[in-house]
């Protein structure tokens, strides 16, 4: 199998991380892969914030859970009220992805960049998990969301939408989830 396909099939969501930090030079290479994603009209409407400060990551997790405690879905409230649940699974680094609000297809473009990052991380033997949960912190503009946007130096006109947790996996093999069948038809 070629190397690219192998990396795509190997990528799994990792939720148990070692404490070991990721070298900054590797983080930069991983983000570069994100910036090479396609984007509508080549707007590249993304901004990446790399956070590797444990205290800050714990605080973001705590504040996000506080907001999610009022979520209409019981499933989400269940995570939010679980004291053991850390939204980034105690990963040593995260990349917070913000999209340019008045771009043409910013969420789609950021999703493409995110997948590139997940695959690049996999190629370096680094575990990753797409974390949408953090979006609860930024969905509505509140005093707390404004405080974070300022503290994290998110550029004006951009809004955080999701994050990627990154670190070295504690597990050698993460089970492959069941994949749906019959999701394709060929018209010749």
Ligand X SMILES: Cc1cc2nc3c(=O)[nH]c(=O)nc-3n(C[C@H](O)[C@H](O)[C@H](O)COP(=O)(O)O)c2cc1C
Binding site for ligand X (CB under 6 A): 12-13, 15, 129-133, 177
- Beta carbon nearer to ligand X, 132 or 141: 132
- For residue 129, give the nearest of 176, 79, 98, 95 by alpha carbon: 95
End-to-end CA distance of the chain: 26
Shortest distance (Å) from residue 130 CB to ligand X:
4
Shortest distance (Å) from residue 52 CB to ligand X:
19
Cα–Cα distance measured from residue 166 to residue 187, given in angstroms and rounded to the nearest whole number:
40
Q: Under 8 Å CB-to-CB from 144, ≥6 apart: which residues?
A: 63, 67, 137
Shortest distance (Å) from residue 156 CB to ligand X:
25
- Beta carbon nearer to ligand X, 140 or 180: 180
Shortest distance (Å) from residue 146 CB to ligand X:
23
Q: Other CB atoms closer than 10 Å to residue 108's CB: what's the count?
A: 15
- Beta carbon nearer to ligand X, 7 or 13: 13
- Beta carbon nearer to ligand X, 31 or 131: 131
């Amino acid at each position: 199998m070629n190397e690219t396909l192998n990396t795509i099939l190997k990528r799994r969501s990792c939720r148990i991380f070692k404490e070991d930090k990721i070298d900054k030079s590797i983080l930069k290479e991983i983000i570069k892969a994100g910036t090479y994603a396609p984007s509508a009209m080549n707007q590249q409407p993304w901004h990446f914030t790399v956070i590797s400060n444990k205290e800050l990551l714990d605080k973001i997790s705590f504040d996000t859970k506080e907001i999610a405690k009022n979520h209409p879905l019981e499933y989400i409230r269940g995570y939010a009220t679980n004291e053991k649940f850390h939204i980034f699974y105690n990963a040593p680094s995260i990349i917070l992805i913000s999209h340019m609000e008045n771009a043409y297809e910013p969420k789609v473009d950021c999703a493409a960049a995110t997948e590139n990052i997940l695959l690049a991380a996999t190629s370096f033997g680094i575990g990753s998990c797409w974390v949408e949960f953090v979006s609860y912190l930024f969905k509505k503009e509140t005093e707390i969301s404004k405080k974070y946007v300022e503290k994290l130096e998110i550029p004006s006109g951009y809004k955080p939408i999701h994050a990627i947790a990154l670190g070295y996996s504690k597990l050698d093999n993460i089970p492959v989830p069941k994949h749906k069948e019959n999701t394709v038809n060929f018209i010749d």
